[in-house]
Structure 1
Amino acid sequence: MSLNTTITEIDNLLEKAQEAFFIFKNFTVKQRAAFMHQVADAIEALDDELITTAQAETNLPVARLQGEKGRTVFQWRSYADALQSGVVLPVRIDTALPDRQPAPRPSIRKTYTPLGPVVVFCASNFPFAFSTAGGDTASAIAAGCPVIVKAHSAHPKTSGIMAAAINGVIQKAGLPEGLFGHVYSNSFENGTYLVSHPVVKAVGFTGSHGGGKALFDLANKRAEPIPVFAEMGSVNPVFLLAQKLNNAAEEVAKQYAASLTLGVGQFCTNPGIFVAPESPALATFINTLAQQISATPAAPMLHKGIAAAYHTNKTNVLQQPAVEVIAQATEGAEGFGNAAIAITTAADFIANKKLSQEVFGPFGLLVTYKTQEEAAAIAKALEGQLTISIWGETEELADNKTLINIVESKCGRLLFNNFPTGVEVCYAMTHSGPYPSCSDSRFTAVGPDAIKRFARPVSYQNWPDALLPDELKDENVLGVWRTVNGELSKENV
């Protein structure tokens, strides 16, 4: 396939995806899990070509790419294991009560069925874990949905290697060809066509707010609207409380600088806003932070387009009234990003919405407050976030309940004395948040619960046991966890 997939080729992929759906949707969770483990094995077996290709296309270091490859493999395996346990897509069985008065209860049993073919738009900053074989693809496959991936133009060759690995497993296993499709395109028209096509039943997206919102609006204008699960960025504010500042100004400053500049700031969980109280200890925090930022060497960003956007957006913030530069690292060559930190007051931050917009890269804005009321006002002014962090002494939390209550309503993950860079793949993770960080805050994009995005519940009432899906039959032939008459069990009914 060429690097500009034609509409005719897309139509062919979608037709095959529809055919594959009616086969794959009937696979048991064990069969789907077995396929996912095979994909994980294939990705793990990819040789150095994958790493060297990705490094050339993204400027990411080898160690980072090797770690991301391992994370990608782990996602496929852990999602597969969670799927076949019955924990992620819960099975509910309420047996018949024919003698119940005043009215009998029929047998009612609930499981989950896949939505249909899913389009996944790859991310620029994670060529493995949030792209072709990333979490959206793995969770859609786990739910029983064929996937059509739109490769990101920043790393098309890397995407092609991953796609070939998945298709190789499909061919070797004799599975339907349309189970996975791969589209190359730099045009908005092809993306629009994919989302608008009646075969497509859901969309996964990681990227900018503008891109995600455009897909969301498009999907909702269809004759049959479909869900768009878009992760669209976040400034991930950090709130520092007074006692913590007094007790650990240098330590917190060093940790913040490390988190802010990690990976040249190219994470959706990059802590771009730091909110701190005015106090004598703040000078120590600022001096330490300035030293750390100034000493951070400029480094190549993912590609020149991202670097150019970073410098433009950083400059826009620095040119705003009442914003002062604290420190800025020496600029590097074209395509490099240099770290910077600036400062403003609570009143100026609240009055200027431009100061709360994401600057994708190693840039932080320090916002100072005088009172707890000002800190709460800053929190109220924030839009929805993926994460918000509180740094403080444990005994301070009781005195800051108002602030905590506000920020809890603004984010998907609330951290205490931690920075948000690093998203653990586990059951309890929420990688989502209120709009505009995500288009649907009820779901997560990371962790086994991500599978739920691409399935819907269906109940069977008074259905013959032999014709029920395997997970709903009286005999627990799949050995999954099921809630039977309100109690979790693996026993037969």
Structure 2
Amino acid sequence: MEGKNIVCSAYAEPSGESFEAINPATGKELEGAFFKASSVDITNALNGAEIAFQTYKNIDKDLKASFLRSIADEILSLGDELISRAAAESGLPVARLQGELGRTTGQLRLFADLVEEGSWVQAIIDPALPERKPMPRADIRRMLVPLGPVVVFGASNFPLAFSVAGGDTASALAAGCPVVVKAHPAHLGTSALVGSAIIKAIDKSGLPKGLFSLLYDSGYEVGAALVKHPKTKAVTFTGSFKGGNALIRLAQEREVPIPVFAEMGSINPIILLPGALENRAEELAQKCAGSITQGSGQFCTNPGLMIAVQSPALEKFKSALAAAILASPSSTMLTAGIFSNYSQLSKEILDDNHIDLLAESTVINKELECQPAARVALISAKDFISSIKFQQEIFGPYSLLVTAKDAIELQEVIGVLEGQLTATLMAEPQELENYQELLNELIDKTGRLILNGVPTGVEVCAAMQHGGPHPATNDSRFTSVGSMAIYRFARPVAWQDWEDELLPDALKAKNPLGIYRLVDQKWIK
């Protein structure tokens, strides 16, 4: 496991300060010194990425698909070493990480399938109409092309699936873009191991070395320099609202602004309709408690808000929820900083006069560090509406239950909500007809609308939308999970009046790639 930066698929000689990864459960330093990337490393990585782009953007789609599958194979070949290091650096249980490893390799293969099939380029052909009156139409053909080098920031809560070879990297490579990854400082060894797998896949595939670089930093300097570098064409980030906004500002202040695709946080409201509470209050309480506390609440889809109308059934729900929270055992949070932030914010909100504590877990593992107490608080709808501060995300096992007097006040709560990654309705099918206005408003507020399920758990598939209106993300037109994530890294180009043999294969008359194309307004092969 190398601690050197990877620059253009090669290990660079260190020139800066070094630092170590920390085990959050013990507070102890882990094996291996990792070196801060230098300004030379940054420049070489992005210059190499730009050179590689000129070749990689035009490679055969089958070779690209084979390369993505090769990355998945090389990651799997790391075996137990990868899982044990990721567990030590994150505090996450081995079973969770094994599942995340499957998601990581699975999404690489998903993008390989997408690239191999080829229709994602959205080829559109409007043939010439020389006889059209009063003016003839030129031959116009349009398709998507890759943007260029992409900077990927590793996320704290998914050391594999949102990291070095995670969904952002997989979708950027699938689109035809080289990648420079800024490793998350909590996952240094995990990042190094996955980086070594990508190097091997590049070597075996015979692809340009500048296709991949991996840079380390314990602070913000390297990340800022990567965003500001003129060769960078797009940036991806999953993390806090503060961090995402900082990157967006840097990208907009450049001489040539670039897109930043930032997922910045969400409280993912669960709306508990009266019929559902009447029929299954205890069941819903168990579901909600499990989702709130799962993985110490360290999911971007953690339900930080529940909303319901006052009723005897709601009181039954509250009692069952409190009992479940009280009995929920603690689990290690990802870093000491995340644990400290959660502890501070969840206690501060409970000091507010408008907030009451419903329940706080008491089963805390005193032998380990970074062990949070799960907390659920209460507030009236009137007080919730009065201040935006009650909508702040508290990253961890926390949720706020908002109680409305009636359906009208429930609608008013929905009306003040900010943009969300998810919104969940716990409802009986027959009562949904009475809440059409609420449903319509929720669609405007969220990227994924869930019925009778919990928001934690994001399926990697073509239909998944993981992105919502601001502040959940800064651009709700795109997803960061699933095969449609590829569209973040492509732009349309039209070819007008070109000879057939000079066109890209995707636009040639005989369709040599065999892909679906929109020809004269009809999707055909």
TM-score normalised according to structure 1 size: 0.98
Letter in 1 for 2:436: K
CA distance in 2, matches of 1:235, 1:224: 34
Q: Does 1:361 align with 2:396?
A: yes
Query: Any gaps of 5 or more consecutive residues in structure 1?
Result: none
CA distance in 2, matches of 1:438, 1:47: 34
Q: 1:195 aligns with which of 224, 227, 230?
A: 227
- Secondary structure of 1:430's partner? coil
Residue deviations 1:443-483 (CA, integer Å, cap 9, x gap): 00011110000000001111111111111111222222212
Q: 2:66 aligns with which of 31, 34, 51?
A: 34
1:77 corresponding residue in structure 2 = 109
Letter in 1 for 2:311: S
The worse-fitting range, judged by mean Cα deviation, of 82-91 and 227-236 is 82-91
**2:121, 2:145 within 8 Å by CA — same for their partners in 1?**
no
1:15 corresponding residue in structure 2 = 47
Superposition deviation, residue 3 in structure 1: 2.3
Equivalent residues in 2 for 1:332-351, closer than 5 Å: 332-333=365-366, 334-351=369-386
Q: Does 1:392 align with 2:427?
A: yes
Superposition deviation, residue 320 in structure 1: 1.2
Equivalent residues in 2 for 1:200-239, closer than 5 Å: 200-239=232-271
**1:89, 1:111 within 8 Å by CA — same for their partners in 2?**
yes
Equivalent residues in 2 for 1:61-72, closer than 5 Å: 61-72=93-104
Letter in 2 for 1:398: E
1:130 corresponding residue in structure 2 = 162
Q: Does 1:247 align with 2:282?
A: no
1:410 corresponding residue in structure 2 = 445
What is the RMSD of the two structures over their aligned residues, measured on CA atoms? 1.1
2:520 corresponding residue in structure 1 = 485
2:387 corresponding residue in structure 1 = 352
CA distance in 2, matches of 1:114, 1:160: 27
- Secondary structure of 2:474's partner? coil
The worse-fitting range, judged by mean Cα deviation, of 20-29 and 417-426 is 20-29
Residue deviations 1:54-105 (CA, integer Å, cap 9, x gap): 0000011111101000001111111121223234331111222222222222
**2:154, 2:184 within 8 Å by CA — same for their partners in 1?**
yes
Q: Does 1:261 align with 2:293?
A: yes
The worse-fitting range, judged by mean Cα deviation, of 48-57 and 242-251 is 242-251
TM-score normalised according to structure 2 size: 0.92
CA distance in 1, matches of 2:130, 2:108: 43
**1:299, 1:338 within 8 Å by CA — same for their partners in 2?**
no
Superposition deviation, residue 28 in structure 1: 3.3
CA distance in 2, matches of 1:477, 1:46: 38
CA distance in 2, matches of 1:226, 1:425: 27
Superposition deviation, residue 45 in structure 1: 2.2
**1:30, 1:478 within 8 Å by CA — same for their partners in 2?**
no
CA distance in 2, matches of 1:184, 1:271: 32
The worse-fitting range, judged by mean Cα deviation, of 33-42 and 340-349 is 33-42
Query: Any gaps of 5 or more consecutive residues in structure 2?
Result: 5-33
Q: 1:295 aligns with which of 327, 333, 338?
A: 327
Q: 1:452 aligns with which of 487, 494, 498?
A: 487
CA distance in 2, matches of 1:22, 1:391: 51
- Secondary structure of 2:138's partner? coil
**1:84, 1:480 within 8 Å by CA — same for their partners in 2?**
no
The worse-fitting range, judged by mean Cα deviation, of 318-327 and 55-64 is 318-327
Q: 2:82 aligns with which of 22, 33, 50?
A: 50
Residue deviations 1:224-274 (CA, integer Å, cap 9, x gap): 000000001100001111111111111111111111111111100000100
**1:324, 1:343 within 8 Å by CA — same for their partners in 2?**
yes
2:461 corresponding residue in structure 1 = 426
Q: Does 1:180 align with 2:233?
A: no
Quote the sequence identity (%).
50
Letter in 1 for 2:329: P
Letter in 2 for 1:306: I
